[in-house]
């Protein structure tokens, strides 16, 4: 048994040949923007402004986007060199060895599944409070929240998970058509919010720009850094793009364009949106689950309030779909390699999708969405993301040394300084996360390592090779 045994790229590419290649650059950018511009833009700017940074939340998003952009370039190089399913898990298994790949895969399972569940609860908040209530329909409390919030089940959150699962089961071509349409609607409404909101900005709301009650840590930047670490939840979309490399036409070029295009568009929209939002409403009032719609109510723009609600619903829907696809492909990759039951590696011959993995993802995500509140879900997501970011950034160094993995496509600039810097930034943000998050994720990782030695290593196809 050699837990650091490395998988080969050719083995992965041969196994992934059964997946249909249908995705182009525009599809990947649509998938990336669909994932990145979701709950992150419609909920997190308000929460983090009220809790950690005030109007300086725009700086927090900028910092998160800059680090994400650097890591995005690392993902782009890996995807160019290794166009396989599984993203960081598969990349880690090739350059670091199976045990490190498994840890990354286990971390990303938490990231993807809880991200979908968190998005579902955000969708339910906007749908129930701003759409159903507007037409006089009020669900009973028991059907609006899980037991932790005094209800029985969040039925709207469960329903949207099931609807998206049905779409994804139809194949990647159908999924991308729905995704691309929804992304266009969402981005148009975000731009409209920014264009209209600019005229309702009150300069007094920017004073103080970084409130003193949030000053903590080194040079008093603790509040901004904590907000930046928290909003990493919003920038995990390009990991989902890398997870779809095996289903992409000419991945060496298209995945790179998709990742970098996503990061650039996202940073412009997030920073501008956050700046306008905190200019319309004082940061102290933004600790709500629908801050953008709330801002329109404050300035008495009822029509725009409804448009923002529609944009939020489209945005969260697309984010859920992208994360759902990425998570199911990760489960497929783990099943493909024997680290999870082999049924997870099954691919439907008719639709060309990992159907069993999608079913498992659906059940887990629906249960969490129905029973656990958004705040509890969101607090657990970022650590898994940052762990993967760190390993993929540092992984560029051993990747470049592998003569058996040629790469004539994209390469991360300023090697090796930029990969190391991106990895160190990711580790630094892990330390900025709340203590409960670090404790919970540590427990999850210990459970994953135990599962690997009890089940994974005994069923691993890699370990069974001569």
Query: pLDDT for 130-183, tens place per residue?
Result: 777 777 777 777 777 776 666 778 888 899 999 999 888 877 667 777 777 878
| Token reading at 52 | 């950690």
Helix (H, G, I), strand (E, B) or coil at 23: strand
Q: pLDDT grade, residue 400 (50/70/90)? A: very high
Q: pLDDT grade, residue 453 (50/70/90)? A: very high
Determine the average pLDDT of the residues in 436-458: 88
Helix axes 417-432, 57-81, angle to 10 degrees: 130
Most confident of 77-86, 106-115, 116-125, 274-283: 274-283
Conformation bin of residue 19: beta by default, left when phi > 0, alpha when psi is -120 to 50: beta
Task: Give pLDDT tens digits for 256-281.
Answer: 788 888 888 888 888 999 999 999 99
- In this structure, are residues 330 and 89 in contact, taking their beta carbons and an 8 Å threshold? yes
* Among the listed residues 81, 1, 44, the one whose alpha carbon sits nearest the alpha carbon of residue 400: 81
- Can you tell me the distance from the alpha carbon of 34 to that of 32, in angstroms, rounded to the nearest whole number? 5
- Pick 401 or 371 by higher pLDDT: 401
**Model pLDDT, residue 133:** 73
Percentage of the chain lying above the pLDDT 70 cut: 92
Determine the average pLDDT of the residues in 424-453: 85
**Model pLDDT, residue 396:** 95
Q: Which residues pair with 248 in a beta bridge?
A: 23
**Would you say the C-alpha torsion 274, 288, 125, 193 has a positive or negative sign?**
negative
**Model pLDDT, residue 111:** 79
pTM of the full structure: 0.81
Q: Residue 232, Cα to own-chain centre: how many angstroms? A: 8
The rounded radius of gyration (Å) of the Cα atoms in the chain is 21
Is the previous residue joined to 151 through a cis bond, with omega within 30 degrees of 0?
A: no
Q: pLDDT grade, residue 344 (50/70/90)? A: confident
**Model pLDDT, residue 377:** 63
Determine the average pLDDT of the residues in 393-401: 94
Per-residue pLDDT at 244 exceeds 90: no
**Model pLDDT, residue 380:** 66
Q: pLDDT grade, residue 208 (50/70/90)? A: very high
Q: pLDDT grade, residue 245 (50/70/90)? A: confident
Per-residue pLDDT at 300 exceeds 90: no
- In this structure, are residues 205 and 281 in contact, taking their beta carbons and an 8 Å threshold? yes
Give Cβ neighbours of residue 274 (< 8 Å, ≥ 6 apart).
45, 49, 57, 58, 61
| Token reading at 145 | 């929240």
Determine the average pLDDT of the residues in 433-438: 77
């Amino acid at each position: 048994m050699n837990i650091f045994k490395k998988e080969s790229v050719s083995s992965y590419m041969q196994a992934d040949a059964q997946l249909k290649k249908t995705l182009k650059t525009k599809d990947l950018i649509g998938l990336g923007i669909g994932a990145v511009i979701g709950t992150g833009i419609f909920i997190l700017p308000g929460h983090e402004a009220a809790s950690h940074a005030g109007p300086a939340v725009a700086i927090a998003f900028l910092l998160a986007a800059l680090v994400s952009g650097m890591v995005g370039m690392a993902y782009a190089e890996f995807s160019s060199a290794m166009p396989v399913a599984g993203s960081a898990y598969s990349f880690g298994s090739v350059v670091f060895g199976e045990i490190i790949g498994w840890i990354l895969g286990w971390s990303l399972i938490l990231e993807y599944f809880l991200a979908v569940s968190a998005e579902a609860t955000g969708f339910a908040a906007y749908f129930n409070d701003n759409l159903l209530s507007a037409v006089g329909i009020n669900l009973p409390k028991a059907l609006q929240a899980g037991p932790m919030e005094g209800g029985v089940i969040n039925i709207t959150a469960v329903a949207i998970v099931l609807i998206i699962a049905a779409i994804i089961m139809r194949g990647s071509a159908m999924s991308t058509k729905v995704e691309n349409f929804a992304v266009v609607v969402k981005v148009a409404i975000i731009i409209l919010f920014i264009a209209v909101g600019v005229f309702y900005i009150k300069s007094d709301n920017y004073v103080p720009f970084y409130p003193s009650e949030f000053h903590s840590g080194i040079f008093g930047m603790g509040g901004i850094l904590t907000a930046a670490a928290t909003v990493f939840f919003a920038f995990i979309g390009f990991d989902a793009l890398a997870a779809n490399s095996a289903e992409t036409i000419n991945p060496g070029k298209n995945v790179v364009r998709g990742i970098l295009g996503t990061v650039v568009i996202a940073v412009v929209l997030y920073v501008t949106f956050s700046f306008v939002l905190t200019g319309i409403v004082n940061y102290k009032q933004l600790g709500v689950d629908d801050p953008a719609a709330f801002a329109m109510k404050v300035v008495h723009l009822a029509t725009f309030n409804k448009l923002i609600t529609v944009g939020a619903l489209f945005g969260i829907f697309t984010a859920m779909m992208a994360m759902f696809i990425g998570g199911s492909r990760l489960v497929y990759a783990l099943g493909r390699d024997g680290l999870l039951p082999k049924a997870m590696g099954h691919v439907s011959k008719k639709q060309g999708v990992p159907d069993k993995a999608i079913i498992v993802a659906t059940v887990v995500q629906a249960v969490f969405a129905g029973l656990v509140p958004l705040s509890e879900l969101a607090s657990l997501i970022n650590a898994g993301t940052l762990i993967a970011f760190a390993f993929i950034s540092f992984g560029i160094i051993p990747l470049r040394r592998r003569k058996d993995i040629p790469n004539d496509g994209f390469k991360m600039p300023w090697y090796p300084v930029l990969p190391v810097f991106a990895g160190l930034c990711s580790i630094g943000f892990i330390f900025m996360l709340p203590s409960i998050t670090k404790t919970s994720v540590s427990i999850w990782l210990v459970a994953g390592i135990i599962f690997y030695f009890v089940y994974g290593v005994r069923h691993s196809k890699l370990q069974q090779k001569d």
